[in-house]
Structure 1
Amino acid sequence: MTATSTKPDTRMHGQAVAEPVSVLPSPAGTSHSPSARDRLARLAAHFLPSRFTSDSPPNFAEYDYVIVGGGTAGAVLADRLTEDANVNVAVIEGGPSDIDNDAVLDLRRWMELLGSDLDYDYATTEQPMGNSHIKHSRAKVLGGCSSHNTLISFRPLKEDLDGWANDHGCPSWSARTIQPYGDRLKLNTVPVAPQHRNHVVRDWVQAASHATGAPVLEDMNSHIVHGNQSAPFQQGVGFFNISYDPNTGQRSSASVAYLHPIMPGGPRARPNLHLFLETWASKLDLEANETDGRLRAKGVHVKNKHGHSFTLNAKHDVILCAGAIDTPRLLLLSGIGPRTELQQLGIEVQADVPGVGENLQDHPESIIMWETRDTPAETVMSSDAGLFLRILPQRGEPGSNKLPSEPTSHPGPDMMAHIYQVPWAEHTGRLGFDVPAHAICMTPNISRSQGRGKLSLRSADAQDKPLLDFRYFEDEQGYDARILVEGIKIARKIAKEPCFARHLLREVAPGPKIQSDADLSAYARSVAHTVYHPCGTCKMGSTATDPLAVVDEADMRVRGCSNLRVIDASVFPAITTVNPMLTVLQVAEAGAERIRNEVWKARWQREAAAKITVQPNAGIGREEQQVQLRQQQELEEQRRRSKQSDKRRSVGTNEPSVSLMSASDLARRARG
């Protein structure tokens, strides 16, 4: 996924900008036998629109929709919108394809991607209360972070979505409305398969359950979505739900699930989908509407790896799916953002939208590491199990006046911990702790961090990386730091359980000398890391009542813009308790359906209006015809909503709940 051009970094071994090419380079070690050449030609066809095979596509290229970012959300939008054969979609993706790239597709190899040429590797600004050395891995490959992360896949908690609806001005994003979209996701999401559960992690699961009282859950998603409806999900331990093929260990990413089947050469290839890989967006092409003053996004200015610049024009919408870092970055570079900040950088202000880049959120984590007696057996991705707990009291509960309590009434778990079967020593080693050859570690993280940071531009140069100030551990109550302190204490308690203790030699970090809460807090913050879950930088809400809402929650359009939408993790008003990938996918499914419904409604109205114009009823006047048209439209809207409601009640379908009908179908229904 990507939005904007970036200077090559010494840590990145690839070009900064690129474009589709007519022949793919041979991977290292590839045979040039006829079969290999045939395979490369087939792969090239996956990426190349047949009308654009030159190094410089024409400037007049126009599509119904231009999607910026072929990542987790962009893949869903590309698939769902091109289900209508009458719609042409262009996808701009800064990275290469993932097809036949084993380093990407083999889930076990995910750590090889960190800091590689497929990683934007964004740095944080100075963090006075935490770790200033955190790197935020962002994927530069088709499929985005779903092609780059561990694919831990949790459905959002009911309380998270209802919080969006009730506390953040997003009434159309309640759990009742959004959870059904999770049932149509195309990823193959399953609990870690038995053959990928090694004995050390099995023992840790039992030890964690015994030490904390958390129940062992075989299928966490089933419990989250379909568990005890009379009580909220608060705790549980077990192997994760992940999106992969248990037989091969290959990813079931957004790219694999949504894009591969519809690319040329796939089983359901669609000629109306055009992918521009290794192509970077630098700025939006905007114009003001003279009638209402709103901005219209005419298209997107892009640049390829050869330095050729061109524009992809949008007949209907430009949809930003570049993620919580690159989506606000592109808006700011295009003159949409806080007026004062833009003026200070010499960027012409197109729309004063003060919320762009604000509300930056993440899941910070810390670490406790033990040296082990031997090397744990390799598993599917070395972080296969975890623990959810409620540690601190809710606001108003007994004890909430003695300990930092969560400022909201959210009843869900406030800490989640991974168990890693590798030495995660990047930050402990920097502080002088040992890096043993064989180690295992727990990484407690803050499920609903109270930190609210800010993304801003370093300069008006699209090649400069943005400034990311997460403001880690700067919440006034000290809630975030307290969660990590308690998390380390719980980890030590688990380590005393005999079934897990038998695998351990010693605690390496923080080590037995660090015991007081103050010392544990200082340690936990100094080695803190990220779970790579930035979100919230273009938050949705009511643009009529919330001055910091960037995106209107009803139609996902950017404030003051008629056809510019944002559909990705940047629209989250508040971070989810769990890993956000499936929530991003559900947001994308919902966003795609809202766009499709608008298309369907507009198409029906045109057809109905044409019917009256072409076949006037001589027996009634024009006003009566218009009344009949409105009545027909209202009836169709009622039927559509009824059909949509019926579809949402069905479980497990991958099909959209509202399909686009042909003009003849619409006419027949109108006559009926």
Structure 2
Amino acid sequence: MDQEFDYVVVGGGTAGCAVAARLSEDPDVTVCLVEAGPSDVGDDAILDLSRWMELLESGYDWDYPIEPQESGNSWMRHARAKVLGGCSSHNSAIAFWAPRENLDAWAAQGCDGWTADECYPFYKKLETALDGAEQADAPGRGTDGPVTIRTVGDQDPCGEALLEACEEVGLPTTPFNTGRTVIRGANWFQVNANPDGTRSSASTAYIHPNLDRPNLSVWTGYRAEKLTFDTSGEKPRATGVRLRTPDQRRSVDITATRETILSAGAIDGPKLLMLSGIGPAEHLREVGIDVLVDSPGVGENLQDHPEGLVQWEALQEMPVVSTQWWQIGIFAGSEGRETPDLMYHYGSVPFDMNIVRYGYPTADNTFCLTPNVTGAQSKGTVRLSSRDFHDKPKVDPRYFSHEHDREVMIRGIRVAREIAASPALKEWVGRELAPGESAQTDEELFDYIRNTHNTVYHPSCTVKMGPDSDPLAPVDPQLRVRGVDGLRVADGSIMPDLITVNPCITTMMIGERCADFIRREA
């Protein structure tokens, strides 16, 4: 069963699909894409975007608990997709290019080659934008990429009233993805979805059309146990990956003669590196793993977008059909900022998964605003719980351990209430179900947040790239893992800092860039 390929991509997720598809465009190389979850081909539970919330805590979800939180919701779960396409097959498909300021900040930290001017052509390469006239200062939208981007256009009278209410409080309707960074404004989201309501995920865009390529092999159901290395030379060289077969009965090794690319995400990526002996030496020894490379930054720097909830009963009937139920974005950044520090998603369905435990009322006909801290300063870790690859890692986001995040979230609840009190929403806003009118002081609001907050499911930055001078940067700006040869990382874990918008399309861009680095060097 053991096989040999030129390139092995470990993780068939948002970035991994892009890497594998682009590398296999060269007919003279062989590529194997390995995914632990099942295929999504023909699976309406995955492909129908309107059903995305059914996937949370389902069989398609690794469903990671988090470590007890001193300042956050210890009951919270981190959804990580267990299916071809990764989180692009599992999320609400909100599509943003990263703000120019975010990417330029990466480059300023020593990530040469990652300015906005250098990254934006790769966004353009991956997308086909179906709507939206190009602005004069826009970076240029793609026209023939594999990923379809379009603006949500559902009939939602409550959403239309919400945009009017935002105007009334100084948050004007503003186009997204034009090249301008929106600090304060609102609009319907752009999504990576087809006009028929199906996902334009990394798997449907990059892999499905290319399944008949003779040089591309897609292995689903194979779970990675560890990366393999040849240690006979001066520096260890990655040789591929050891996999557990779908029936769980045996292990097989597949060999990468040129390079192995790890695209397992910000939780499973550092886990697999550590299981393979690359990580903080002291921690590896604690769990009984031989140290191959002492890389203290592996599993550090975990960043996320924490999310709160303000939910109301609706006085009129909410929509019963939707593209993906979370269709409007609102930016309410503090004045004087270059990027927004506060963002909302508008939900036209009940979102009570974290509030019923504490007795907050719910209803069938509701809408909500979910403030999230876009530039959270709290940083956490991913650590192994044991040397057994079956065991879930220890995920400790350390939510709200930084005062900045608390202040932004409290302001987020107050601004949400201000929007709801605007005349345009008078015919829609009923009783505030959560946090409820009795919560008014900063202390009362943060007590509610600490107990009930969620996440926008954007864990990132745990294998960050950086210059040679940064001892906590496990990968260099070409995404090569330091201390070994033949191994790169390409997924959201390589971000030095989490961007201030939904990162799915940026993660695809990272996959595009990784493939480009490899092909240029080859």
Which of 34, 39, 44 in structure 2 is aligned with 1:102? 44
Q: In the alignment, what sits opposite 1:122?
A: 64
Distance 2:363 2:33 in 1: 45
Asked if residue 313 in structure 1 is aligned to residue 261 in structure 2, the reply is no
Indicate conservation of the 8 Å contact 2:316/2:427, yes or no.
Answer: no
SS at match of 1:349: coil
**Which residue number corresponds to residue 430 of structure 1?**
357
TM value normalised by structure 2: 0.94
Q: 1:597: which partner in 2? A: 520
CA contact (8 A) 1:421 1:441 kept: yes
**1:271-670 counterparts in 2 under 5 A?**
271-290=214-233, 293-306=234-247, 307-377=249-319, 378-391=321-334, 411-475=338-402, 478-542=403-467, 544-553=468-477, 555-599=478-522
Taking only aligned residues, the RMSD between alpha carbons, in angstroms, comes to 1.1
What amino acid does structure 2 have at the position aligned with 1:522?
Answer: D
Alignment of 1:163-202 (within 5 A): 163-166=105-108, 168-185=109-126, 186-193=146-153, 196-202=154-160
In 2, distance between residues paired with 1:535 and 1:415? 18
Aligned to 1:233: 182
State the one-letter code of the partner of 1:260.
H
The answer as to whether partners of 1:336 and 1:349 remain within 8 angstroms in 2 is yes
Structure 1 residues 376-416: Cα deviation after superposition (integer angstroms, max 9, x where no partner)? 1121111000101212x66xxxxxxxxxxxxxxx6111100
Moved more, 181-190 or 462-471: 181-190
Counterpart of 2:167 in structure 1 is 209
Give the Cα–Cα distance (whole angstroms) in 1 for the partners of residues 259 and 328 of structure 2.
Answer: 41
- Unaligned 5+ segments in structure 1 are 1-57, 265-269, 395-409, 600-672
How far off its partner does 1:375 sit? 3.3
The structure, 1 or 2, with the larger RCO (C-alpha pairs under 8 Å, 6+ apart) is 2
Asked if residue 72 in structure 1 is aligned to residue 14 in structure 2, the reply is yes
Is the partner of 1:502 in helix, strand or coil? Answer: coil
Q: What is residue 207 of structure 2 aligned with on the other side?
A: 259
Aligned-pair CA distance for 1:235:
1.7
Secondary structure of the structure 2 residue equivalent to 1:331 = helix
Query: Which runs of structure 2 are paired with 1:33-182 in the superposition (5 Å)?
Result: 58-59=1-2, 61-166=3-108, 168-182=109-123
Secondary structure, counterpart of 2:356 in structure 1 = helix
Residue-by-residue CA offset, 1:112-154 (whole Å, 9 max, x unaligned): 1111111100011000101001111111111110000000000
Q: Which residue of 1 aligns with 2:176?
A: 220
SS where residue 113 of structure 2 aligns?
helix
Q: By how many angstroms is 1:438 displaced?
A: 1.3
Q: Please state whether the residue corresponding to 1:423 is helix, strand or coil.
A: coil
Task: Give the whole-Å Cα distance in 2 for the aligned partners of 1:249 and 1:237.
Answer: 23
Deviations 1:427-469 (A, max 9, x none): 1111111111211111000011001100000011111000000
Instruction: Give the secondary-structure state (helix, strand or coil) at the position aligned to 2:367.
Output: strand
Contact 2:343 2:372 (C-alpha < 8 Å) held by counterparts: yes
| Residue 288 of structure 1, CA deviation | 2.1
Hey, which of these two has a bigger chunk of helix by percent?
A: 1
CA displacement at 1:289 relative to structure 2:
4.7
CA distance in 2, matches of 1:493, 1:504: 12
What is the distance in 1 between the residues matched to 2:72 and 2:155? 34
1:244-282: per-residue Cα shift (whole Å, max 9, x none)?
A: 112x11111111111111002xxxxx1000011111110
CA contact (8 A) 2:37 2:84 kept: yes
By how many angstroms is 1:162 displaced? 0.5
Counterpart of 2:140? none
SS at match of 1:319: strand
Secondary structure of the 2:457 match is coil
TM-score by length of 1: 0.74
Q: Give unpaired runs (5+ residues) of structure 2.
A: 127-145
Three-state SS of the structure 2 residue aligned to 1:449 is coil
Asked if the contact 2:264–2:491 (Cα under 8 Å) also holds between the matched residues in 1, the reply is: yes
- C-alpha distance in structure 2 between counterparts of 1:489 and 1:500, whole Å: 16
Conserved 8 A contact 2:176-2:182: no
Q: Secondary structure at the match of 2:223?
A: strand
Task: State the 1:318 CA deviation.
Answer: 0.6
* Structure 1 residue 501: Cα displacement: 2.4
Over alpha carbons, which structure has the higher Rg?
A: 1
1:214 CA displacement: 1.9
Equivalent residues of 1:376, 1:421 under 8 A apart: yes
- Three-state SS of the structure 1 residue aligned to 2:274 is helix
> Aligned AA for 2:177?
N
Superposition deviation, residue 523 in structure 1: 1.2
For residue 45 of structure 2, give the secondary structure of its aligned residue in structure 1: helix
For 1:119 and 1:67, the matched residues in 2 are separated by 21
Aligned-residue offset at 1:176:
1.2
Superposed CA deviations along residues 228-251 of structure 1, whole A, max 9, x for unmatched, are xxxx531210100101112x1111
The one-letter code matched in structure 2 to 1:94 is A
Do the aligned residues in 2 keep the contact of 1:366 with 1:525 (CA within 8 Å)? Answer: no
Percent of residue pairs identical: 43
TM-aligned CA deviation for residue 89 of structure 1: 0.4
The residue that corresponds to 2:141 in the other structure is: none
Q: Residue 154 of structure 1 contacts residue 580 of structure 1 at CA under 8 Å; is this kept in 2?
A: yes
Counterpart code for 1:482: E
- Which residue identity lines up with residue 188 of structure 1 in the other structure? T
Tell me the amino acid that sits aligned with residue 452 of structure 1: K
Confirm or deny: 8 A CA contact 2:98 2:499 kept in the other structure: yes
- State whether residues 481 and 525 of structure 1, in contact with CA within 8 Å, keep that contact through their aligned partners in structure 2: no
SS at match of 1:541: coil
Aligned length: 501
Cα drift, residue 171 of structure 1:
2.0
Secondary structure of residue in 2 paired with 1:376: coil
